[in-house]
């Protein structure tokens, strides 16, 4: 487990966690990530390095912890009135965010920590599922046809992510559009 807010007693945990996370975000936006070290983060956050080592283990785990938090959507996808536009807009934004330099770095941080701290990648996956799920539910409420969430993952999310991670070419807007269209019933 990475972040244990405050399990039983004792715990200025939350404060330390907040300042460390903040320090990481700040440093990451300022300097090259290969220059970011735990002693540096500790100084910036006003804590001792050993505190960070004991709580997070190592830099990859800390970075992953910060990344999953930043990757968590702050709101459900915008309701645009129809499943087609909901999904289109969400997918475009998802692709843009993930394909950006910072987005890609966060994904890699998350993936790099799997093994040590299982579950980070799973969380990201859940966030995405939840977002798609809420689009799907709205579609259902409107009486629209909408594919299964897992189908959306397979045919839309997975291709976007694969190309971001492995190809150096992020998916173009047209590409994303065509993936979305392939999921939905014929436009009338």
Partner DNA sequence: GCCTAAAAGCAAATTATTTGCGTTAGTGAT
Partner DNA sequence: ATCACTAACGCAAATAATTTGCTTTTAGGC
Residues near DNA, by CB under 7 A: 4, 6-13, 15-17, 37-40, 46-51, 53-55, 57-59
Question: d(Cα 48, Cα 32) in Å, to the nearest integer?
Answer: 22
Dump the DSSP string for 1-35.
----S--SS---HHHHHHHHHHHHHHHHHHS-GGG
Footprint of a copy of itself on this chain (CB under 8 A)?
33-34, 60, 104-105, 108, 111-112, 114-116, 118, 121-122, 124-125, 153-155, 157-159, 161-163, 165-168, 179
* In contact, 87 and 177? CB cutoff 8 Å: no
CB of 110 to a copy of itself, least distance (A): 9
CA quadruple 169, 94, 114, 50: dihedral positive or negative?
Answer: positive
Question: d(Cα 124, Cα 116) in Å, to the nearest integer?
Answer: 16
Q: Could you tell which of a copy of itself, DNA, none binds residue 166, using a CB distance below 5 to 8 A set by kind?
A: a copy of itself
CB of 128 to DNA, least distance (A): 29
Q: Could you tell which of a copy of itself, DNA, none binds residue 174, using a CB distance below 5 to 8 A set by kind?
A: none
């Amino acid at each position: 487990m990475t972040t244990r807010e405050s399990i039983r007693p004792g715990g200025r945990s939350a404060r330390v966690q907040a300042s460390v996370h903040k320090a990481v975000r700040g440093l990451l936006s300022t300097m090259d990530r290969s220059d970011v070290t735990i002693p540096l983060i500790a100084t910036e956050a006003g804590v001792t390095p050993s505190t960070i080592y004991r709580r997070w283990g190592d830099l990859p785990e800390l970075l992953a912890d910060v990344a999953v938090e930043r990757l968590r959507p702050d709101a459900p996808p915008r309701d645009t009135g129809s499943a087609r536009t909901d999904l289109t807009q969400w997918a475009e934004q998802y692709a843009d965010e993930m394909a950006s330099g910072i987005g890609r770095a966060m994904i890699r941080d998350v993936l790099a920590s799997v093994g040590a701290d299982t579950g980070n990648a799973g969380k990201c996956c859940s966030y995405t599922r939840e977002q798609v799920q809420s689009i799907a539910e709205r579609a259902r409420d409107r009486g629209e046809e909408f594919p299964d969430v897992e189908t959306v993952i397979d045919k839309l999310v997975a291709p976007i992510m694969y190309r971001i991670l492995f190809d150096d070419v992020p998916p173009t807007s047209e590409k994303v559009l065509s993936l979305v269209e392939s999921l939905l019933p014929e436009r009338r």
